[in-house]
Amino acid sequence: MIKFFRRIRFDLMEKNKTGKYFKYAIGEIVLVMIGILLALQVSNWNQERKDRISERKLLDNIHRDFVHNKVGFDSLKAIHYRGLDGLEKLIALFPLGNDSLKYAAYYKYNLQIEGMTYDPYSSSIESVVNSNALQLIQDEKLQKYLVSWKDVFRDYKEDENTYYDYLNDFLWPYYRDVFDFTLKDTEMNLAARNSIKFQNMIITRRNNIRGIIKAMEEEPIENHINEIVRLTKPKVE
């Protein structure tokens, strides 16, 4: 095509048709510019298509992780509610004395109390936030949730760590000191469970679980999980 216009331009110059020469020259420039613009448009369209494919892959990975995270969070919340209920009922039995019925209830309620931590999948978010991949995500609201997730999770974890630090640093060492785990010395175990210190430590444990549940209900972690799941869900067209 360029050779074709070049030959026409040369013929016009040879025949001294300057006016027509300039018209052809301008036309050639316009066509070249149109060709360049079309090429850029096609290149931009192709890059946009690749970006949207990459974005969808990122969103799918995050969505998969946070569907799992939501299931784990909801399960852990139910565990803590059950544990709090067990501790409330257990505390209501104090003082236990030597009442066999109270002890039967004590062991029943004690089984409701479990210790589990929340350990969500975060690798998909970290790989996005710590790279230029975040720019591929078009939804600005989702970007904010992804960027702030680390701080939100850390704030929640502080409340959770308070509870488990108490268990590991105070409650379990106390149990090892005052209880006979062979169950041979029933008098020793009876005296330990009827002590004011034991009762106060159980009350403290109850209060710490309340703190975790309050963090789950009032801090933004649950909303972050739900919104990330919602905003990364594939749209049905």
* Structural domain count, the chain: 1
Residue 18 counted as domain residue: no
Q: Which domain holds residue 182?
A: 54-232
Kindly state whether residue 147 falls inside one of the protein's structural domains.
Answer: yes
pTM of the model: 0.78
Express each pLDDT in 123-137 by its tens digit: 999 999 998 889 999
8 A C-beta contact, residue 65 and residue 125:
yes
Domain for residue 187, yes or no? yes
Determine, yes or no, domain membership for 6: no
pLDDT for 166-202, tens place per residue?
A: 999 999 999 999 988 887 778 888 899 899 999 999 9
What tens digit of pLDDT does each residue of 69-115 get?
Answer: 999 999 999 999 999 999 999 999 999 988 889 989 998 998 899 88
The answer on pLDDT for 21 being more than 50 is: no
| Residue 155: inside a domain | yes
Is residue 26 domain-resident? no
Confirm whether 3 is domain-assigned: no
Q: What mean pLDDT is reported for the chain?
A: 85
Is 115 part of a structural domain of the chain?
Answer: yes
